[in-house]
Structure 1
Amino acid sequence: MAKTYSDNQVTGRQGEALVKARIHAMGFAFNPSDSMEAGIDGTIEIRDPVTKAATGRCIAVQVKTTQGGAYTRETASSLEYLCEPEDVAYWRGWSLPVIVVLVRLDDESFYWKSVRDAGPPDGRRLTINKQADAFDRSAADALAALAVDTDRFGVWMPPLRGGEPVHLNLIRIELPTTVFTAASPFRGGREARAELLRHDPGPPDEWVLRNNTLVTFRDPRASALRHIVDADTVEEEPIETVAFPDDEVDEHRFIELLGRALRTQLDGSLWYEKDQGAYYFPSAPEGVAVTYSYRSLKQGTSADVVSVYKDRKDETRIHFVRHHAFVPRFWRMGDSWYLSVTPTYVFTRDGTKPDRFGADRLAKKKQLEKNSAIIGQFVMWRHFLCAPDAKPRDDLFDAAGPGPGAIRFVPVEALRSPRAVPERQWRTRDPESKSSGQEELTL
């Protein structure tokens, strides 16, 4: 009887050959095991892409190849793989970190996971994110971070890429040079606002009133605010007297004033979503979708800041609308104030009414976004807030610059980090959002 090779043997060798090619394409070395391997197909040795030096930092690799078919609980974005108990027991005894590479030949899909990340039962279940855990060039930094020195277990291999610019999500605030204070017969803002509405259906909002003292960037005698202050007590003072207090309560009062000023200046251009505390692009008056043109880090570009998603079964119906948005926070650093801009999204049913599934859509969207997408959104918002011609409708600031009492925004230059941050390290699970699966970006 003739000798034969089983289909499983041929399939396994195909997978190992393809994985070897991928590892070499990353710039690393793959050293296959000999014929007596018992659950490890080879080792990856990290190679410095600049000096070409062999580092001696290694990872053990087990390749699991299938011809085709779906994995367990496979969806468009994820899948699960249940390792054999004897394999897991063997891998745990290795002095090197072990990864499993899944290869499916019919669609040439490659995914990987460290066995240290396996979950129950008994540390056998690997949960794969198809985008984040793709076994290709994008995995090089994560593999280097996982590798250890062969004679000093646990030494971390830093990212192989060189330095990169770090864009802080901060915008510096240029404050008015002066601020107005005045005594008021009203102790707090609620009673004062009721009085204002008796005189003006749309009264100014750029003011704070606490303990019978009103603070505002604009002269209260020139607006409806004159009805809630004692005009004889109005004083124009240097901005430093209220912008940089020693008392925390007074600092919170100034933050509230900044927030009111921002809201006033964005009125007519952005809408505010109270539950998220976010400003977002409204739908176009003549339709729904909106495209915004701006200057990116390298060139002019545009973004669909209001996107309409139609019902798959009925193109005449809107399924939901996604609006680009940002959450503002004010920070005092030394003798300067900054606005932090955290990009996010607001979801509506038709461009105006809240989408009851908005929280779930936001969580899923955040899971898929990478650092480059977050940078792009921040750059768009920075252009919107800082550039004189940024607003799609009424100008945030006219050609002559901000008027009296307005705050102005100035870009903050990027920093230069000595090392690049691997893309995978930007994404960590938010411990407060396990149920939703939402993630936050951290350094």
Structure 2
Amino acid sequence: MKKIDKSAHTGDGAIALIHQRVYEMGFVWHERKTDAGIDGEIELRNAVTGEVANRALLVQSKGKGERRFPGENDDGFHFLCSAADVTYWMSAPVPVLLVCSHPETGEAWWMYVQGWFADPEHLATGRIDFDKNTQKFDRSAAQRLLALADPHGDAHVPVAEDRPETLTSNLLPVAIPATLYHASINTQDPREVLSRQRTEHASLPFAEDFILRGGQLYSWRHPERSALGKLITGPVKQMPVAQWADSGDETRQRWLVQLLNNALRSDVSADCAWHGGRKIIFWRPTRDFSARSIRSASGRTRQVFTPKYKKNNPTQVSYYLHAALEWQFLDIDGAWYCALVPTYHYTRDGHRTSLLLSEYLAGIKRLDRNPAVYHQTRMWAYYLHGHDEALAFRDNILTYGTLETFDAGKGIDDKAWRADSRKPADDADPEPLTEVREDGLALFEVPR
């Protein structure tokens, strides 16, 4: 009786699995009926438009049925290649993929052969190490394969997939008071007004939500509620904010934006300091200069002030790291928004700016990725909104909403961004805020 042995059946199943996976990626599979080390090729195709890119990848399949690959466990395995196979693959004019699979369970993993054996140590051993978590041969690998076959984008332009996606912006809706207060004052120097409040009327509430223009002091709160009441020289009058906002006068609209900037500074003044040179707010140090944490939108506790210790002397502080914020008020179709731009600040003693500020900023910005900026933005939005879980109640001038979101009909595979097709992909970007500390935690993330 004629038979097809188990090995041949498994090999056929492995090819069928590759065919299915290539179909799911939106590409085209061409099987070779006769081969000497290449079982077929993947022709790249734009899954959205249907256009073929005239780019291909060669594939060698290795399948295992009930048996496991050498050293296989839940995390990975290795495969030993013959010298003849490696020589043959390395001579190919296009990228070659080795796809190892278990057809019975529908699992497959891939490796870019030329990229792996470009390392002389790998070439000498003929061994390929697979990571099961990052080298899955499935739909998630499509963009990496496309980048591998056409690294310069000469034959393709990535197109977003037809799938719904919700985009979170950095725009925070803001409701502003309807009324401004103004009164005459005999100075046009805001520094003098701030100084006299601190020295001459220190027992009264301090105010910084004002501007001085044309002999008038304009403020969001009634001047008599603060030390400003001792400095004005005439009666307090009211005016509608719309008189400036809707006037079409660019000068007065700039005045309104300056008042909004001062209002935000005032709203967070109990927790955050102002840096006039950088035009940012940053979290104040704690009384004992220990780390400071707040509850963020994700429910995690995040550090917003962190002492950083010297590596050669873990008892001595090298510098202090502060969560910081730049912002811009925007009038969009008659509605006010605050565009949040999270950043960092570094100090020598919790107050004075570090002499190495530029170097520290350059270093941490190189580490920042989209998830880091996203979670920082959410943290600031959550704090400004005034959730009870973030900090105690604040007597705000402005009312802050929640970040604006937008629904899109097309989506982007975030894992494919900036992916190096020659290396195993990260399964996901870490959520927290970029800088990894020596204790293994990321910046501003605290263990529960």
Q: Normalized against structure 2, the TM-score is what? A: 0.61
Q: The residue matched to 2:208 in structure 1 has which SS?
A: coil
CA distance, structure 1, for counterparts of residue 113 and residue 241 of structure 2 = 61
1:217 matched to 2:220: yes
Equivalent position of 1:374 in the other structure: 373
Decide whether aligned partners of structure 1 residues 263 and 25 sit closer, same or farther in structure 2, where only a CA change above 3 A counts. Answer: farther
Partner of 1:338: 337
Name the CA distance, whole Å, in 2 between partners of 1:287 and 1:46.
57
Higher relative contact order (CA 8 A, sep 6+): 2
What is the aligned-residue RMSD (CA, Å)? Answer: 4.4
Q: Is 2:436 the partner of 1:419?
A: no
- 1:168 matched residue in structure 2: 169
Q: What is the Cα deviation at residue 161 of structure 1?
A: 6.5
Name the counterpart of 1:121: none
Aligned residues of 2:57 and 2:149 also touching (Cα < 8 A):
no
**SS, match of residue 316 in structure 1:** strand
Conservation of the 8 A alpha-carbon contact between 1:147 and 1:156: no
For residues 411-439 of structure 1, give each alpha carbon's deviation from its aligned partner in whole angstroms, at most 9, with x where no partner exists. Answer: 14411122224548978xxxxxxxxxxxx
SS, match of residue 174 in structure 2: strand
Q: Distance in 1 between matches of 2:24 and 2:304?
A: 36
User: What is the aligned partner in structure 2 of residue 259 from structure 1?
Assistant: 261
- Paired with 1:249 and 1:422, the residues of 2 have a C-alpha distance of 44
Q: What is the 5 A alignment of 1:35-434?
A: 44-46=43-45, 48=47, 56-60=52-56, 102-103=115-116, 104=119, 105=122, 108=129, 140-141=142-143, 156-160=157-161, 162-190=163-191, 192-193=193-194, 196=197, 199-201=200-202, 203-232=206-235, 234-296=236-298, 300-349=299-348, 351-392=350-391, 394-397=392-395, 402=396, 406-423=397-414
**Alpha-carbon separation, structure 2, partners of 1:235 and 1:189:** 20
How far is 1:390 from its partner? 4.8
On the 8 A contact 2:44/2:56 being kept in 1, the answer is: no
**2:300 & 2:412 partners in 1: Cα distance?**
26
Q: What is the distance in 1 between the residues matched to 2:113 and 2:361?
A: 31
Change over 3 Å in CA distance of 1:136–1:372 after alignment to 2:
farther
| Closer, same or farther: CA 352–194 of 1 in aligned 2, 3 Å | closer
SS in 2 for 1:230: coil
Question: What is the number of equivalent residue pairs in this alignment?
Answer: 334
Separation (CA, whole Å) in 1 of partners of 2:364 and 2:58: 32
What is the one-letter code of the residue matched to 1:318? V
How far apart are residue 190 of structure 1 and its match?
A: 4.8
- Structure 2 CA distance, aligned partners of 1:387 and 1:195? 31
Distance 1:25 1:283 in 2: 56
Q: Distance in 2 between matches of 1:237 and 1:161?
A: 51
Question: How far apart in 2 are the matches of 1:46 and 1:315?
Answer: 55
Q: Is the 8 A contact 1:26 1:140 kept in 2?
A: no
Give the match for residue 80 of structure 2.
none
Distance 1:346 1:424 in 2: 29
Q: How much does 1:385 deviate?
A: 0.6
Question: TM-score w.r.t. structure 1 length?
Answer: 0.61
Letter in 2 for 1:267: S
Q: Partners of 1:259 and 1:305 in 2: how far apart?
A: 21
Retained in 2: the 8 A contact 1:146–1:156? no
SS at match of 1:305: strand
Amino acid at match of 1:223: S
Q: Check the 8 A contact 1:370/1:423 in 2, yes or no.
A: no
Contact in 2 for aligned 1:216/1:257 (Cα 8 Å): yes
Deviation at 1:237, TM superposition (A): 2.1
SS class of match (1:416): strand
Please tell me whether the aligned partners of residues 190 and 212 of structure 2 are also in contact (alpha carbons under 8 angstroms): yes
TM-superposed deviation, 1:301: 2.1
Stretches of structure 2 that go unaligned for 5 or more consecutive residues are 1-14, 60-89, 95-111, 419-448
Offset of 1:248 from its aligned partner? 1.3
Report the Cα distance in structure 2 between the residues aligned to 1:350 and 1:44, rounded to whole angstroms: 60
2:109 aligned partner: none
Q: Give the aligned residue type for 2:329.
A: F
State the partner residue of 1:119: none
